[in-house]
Chain A
Amino acid sequence: MGLAAETVASKRDLSAVIIDGQRDSKVLSGWRRELVGNRLLELL
């Protein structure tokens, strides 16, 4: 993608989704959701 990982999601963003179960994280909205968020939810 030529995109820094932290531009897509920080460790804190990912921890909030994976460990805390948050669903209002920015990684699950907008272009990030299309890029990685939906796939992330499938894995959880």
Chain B
Amino acid sequence: MPEYTLVDEPDSIAADLGRHDFVGVDTEFMREKTFFAELCLVQVATREIIYCVDPLNGHGMSVFWDALMQDTWVVHSGRQDVEVVYQSARRMPGRLFDTQIAAGVLGFAPLMGYASLVKELFDVDIDKSHTRANWSRRPLPDTYLHYAAEDVEYLLPALDLLTEKLDQKGRLSWAEEDSAQLLNPALYDLDPELAIDRRQRARILRGRRRAHPLHPMKIKRPCSSRSSSR
């Protein structure tokens, strides 16, 4: 089980984040009933410590986000993580390295899962049983936090190993190029109205239209205003 620190005041770790060039990042969020996902936990791994940052307790996050965006994020299949953070904080990291993309470029199975990659690289079995847990519940059980910490524990070691292998094959720039494409804000600037329209049309096509007007999909903006940062 990885050691981690639960952070209730995100801005308090900004100074430490500023000391690192690379950090492993993962998020936990809920999207079942809302159009915009609700960010519920941000895990950040440095080479020394794993932080589990709670964004739901009302403390400021502006300084935390500023510091985190200065580092290169190491993620696994990070598109949704970037999306959720972008929609919550309206910010995006300056640089990104996606270990799933890197593994694919190296010749591993396309779209390889994190657990499979960790097993392949380090011969370690990790738990994926909490993938569909209710991450908005508080307090978060220790088992959830352990799981969350494990999701970032191997990202920096994977970066080191994958980078070395990519370099040997002359494909580091390939992984960097594909990873950078995840930093296009246009990927994440979603229009809720279009989503409602798509949902309505999909229902009609499925022949499940009700006699009463269709209820638009519940649109819940994340805790922070999309026009201002926390």
A and B bind:
yes
Q: Contacts A4-B109, A4-B110, A6-B110 given: A31-B104 contact, CB under 8 Å? A: no
Main secondary structure of the interface of B (DSSP, over half): helix
Q: Does B167 contact A (CB under 8 A)?
A: no
Q: Is the CB of A4 within 8 A of B173?
A: no
Interface size class of B (residues with CB under 8 A): 10 to 19
Chain A interface residue count, Cβ-Cβ cutoff 8 angstroms: 8
| Chain A residues packing against B (C-beta within 8 Å) | 1-4, 6-7, 30-31
| Chain B contacts with A in 106-133, Cβ cutoff 8 A | 106-107, 109-110
Q: How far is the CA of A30 from the CA of B178 in the complex (A)?
A: 9
Residues of chain A contacted by B173 (CB below 8 angstroms): 31
The answer to whether A3 and B105 touch across the interface, beta carbons within 8 angstroms, is yes
Beta-carbon contacts under 8 Å, B159-198 to A: 171, 173-174, 177-178
User: What chain B residues lie within 8 Å of A7 (beta carbons)?
Assistant: 104-105, 110
CA distance A3 to B102 in the complex (A): 11
